[in-house]
Structure 1
Amino acid sequence: LLAVCVGRGIEPFGKLMHDGTGEPASRKLGSWHEHIYRNTTFNRNAGTGHLIENCHIHHTGSGGISLSGGDRLTLEKGLNKVENCYIHHFNRLDRTYRAGINIDGAGNIIRHCEIAHCPANAIYLHGNDHIIEYNEIHHAVMTGDDMGAIYYGRDPSEFGTLVRYNLFHHLGSGDLKAGHRKITAIYHDDGACGMVVTGNVFYKAGSRGATIGGGNDNIYTNNIFIEGKLAVHHDNRLQGWASYMWESGNVFEQRMEAVNFREPPYSEAYPTLVNYFSDAPGLPKRNVIQYNLFCNFEMVYNGRSAYSGFGRNLILCSDPGFRDVEGLDFRIDPDSEVFRLMPEFRNIPMHLIGRLMGEK
């Protein structure tokens, strides 16, 4: 009950299950979500170079597009793309983990899309080396809790995704400032690693702009966070209640061994993964939050600076000269104090974000 499926699915299980192993099936998604919890390297044989373009997808039952391609074992890129699509109101029947776009495999692209009006995820991510860029995501995670508009997690080997030049705004609903619901634009859940987040705007983006749940090598630079209770939450859950995940024989070891993380291509593409289990696996390492602009937050960072190298950011309590806040244009006047106080910062190309002109 979705619009487009690129790649094989799994024959539906006969009963409701959190996870399991099923049989590959063509022309249906079926119980794919449940299957990949245990079978994280499942190759959907989705082909390469496919393009889903200029589509308007709405009022579907269980998500919008399921986009696969590439091979997680070899890191061969699929280069399948979703571009310039408007996807909204896509959870009439199944309201969680059925995103506007589910992306998996390796090396696929989501670009110039608008994804909006959903109870939970806008983009649900699995796999490696994807690019998510120039998208507008709004009015997502409207009823969910402990959830992100872009969400991935519980597999340190899902490394290498780039999230750049996206606009997240008006996420969640209700009194988010009260802190009763954990709504975030990007959620690196349960030890998720290796994402680069640069040049994005987070405006009224839930109760937390970003949540890093204990992982490594997540890089935030040159982003703008505007207005809210908390901009970035960063914890060390893998040293506490979630430590069982990296213990011998448990889920992290299973998923890392499945991709042969100590051998090429993983050891060459992601060298910091090689010593994951021998180098204090519960301690967040090599995360970076630098050269970002924070405006009008009750709290900017909830965590220890050692987890993230948090620093060299600019924190303001007023508008630094955004071009048009009501029109969601957060380019900054060249004469703004921002460029004097943080000369490393670069204006974000707001005019290029979202669906392409003439197609809206």
Structure 2
Amino acid sequence: MLRDLDERSREIFKRIVESYLDTGEPVGSRNLARILPMALSPASVRNVMADLERAGLIFSPHTSAGRLPTDRGLRFFVDALLEVGDLTRDERSSIEAQVRAAGSGKSIESVLTEASQLLSGLSRGAGVVLTSKTDMLLKHIEFVRIEPTRGLVVLVGENGMVENRLIDLPAGLPPAALVEAGNYLNALIRGRTLADVRGELERRMAEQRAELDALTQAVVEDGLASWSAAGGGRPETLIVRGRANLLEDLKALDELERVRLLFEDLETNKDLIQLLGLADAGDGVRIFIGSENKLFSMSGSSLVLSPYRDAEQRVVGVLGVIGPTRLNYARIVPMVDYTAKVVGRLIG
């Protein structure tokens, strides 16, 4: 069993993983013997490495090469051996200042975009943010026609945040219907959350369908539905920043192919949203490594994710970092955790 590894085996395994996280290169028994805190010959180190390989924790990428950790080995390292650091006071202040500046009088999306960009810059990976349904207290809603069958819904919260969504308009919709739809909703929304308004509308429309004609009713329903995630409240808006970071320091064509596959994965928003949605199942940061998830199994990438919450501690989204499996987990975990807390305070 992995937990039964003796101290010598754990130390050698830890050094193999730390070397991989630092350089991305395999490490051999001779180099390990030089850096170990205990006196061991290269031959003794090789014997331990053979045991670790049989346990599925490390592997040899080439004949006569050094060893690298497997995805299973990285999971064991993260769960049992990782020493998570903490952010300095200056780092915390910098994160809070950047995210807060993005939210000053601007939309929620601008806050989340800045958070994604910030995580990308700090991690040298790709920053990702996934927004859930809007639960802020509402102040005003407006419908604007931009094409004959396309419209814009503008939702204003009592905290000053503004969100925009595009919706389809019924063919032949008269201009007055947009005004009527806005007036109808504005009589209901002030001081309520979107979930509250939807529940009230469903009740009213069941009782008073004659109050709105069919075309206006369609606008009202589509306008509110544009903020509702499919599948009972799942997250719906994905922001990814810093993909170019994943192209840096590539050493071989197979690594380029790995990143190409990752870019394809990032374009599959539906699958990515389903995966990131798993992160709101519990508190704190969650780590997905390589083949542990089917979405990134081909590209050999890891995700470090944390849910962020509103003032009532409801999960309203997920943010984090995507990068190679040799991410600096000890640094990125507290960084993602703190950024999620800052975003939650700001949008709550």
**Which one has a larger percent strand, Structure 1 or Structure 2?**
1
* TM-score between both structures, scaled by the size of structure 2: 0.23
The structure having more radius of gyration, on CA atoms, is 2
Structure with bigger RCO (C-alpha 8 Å, 6+ apart): 2
**Which one has a larger percent helix, Structure 1 or Structure 2?**
2
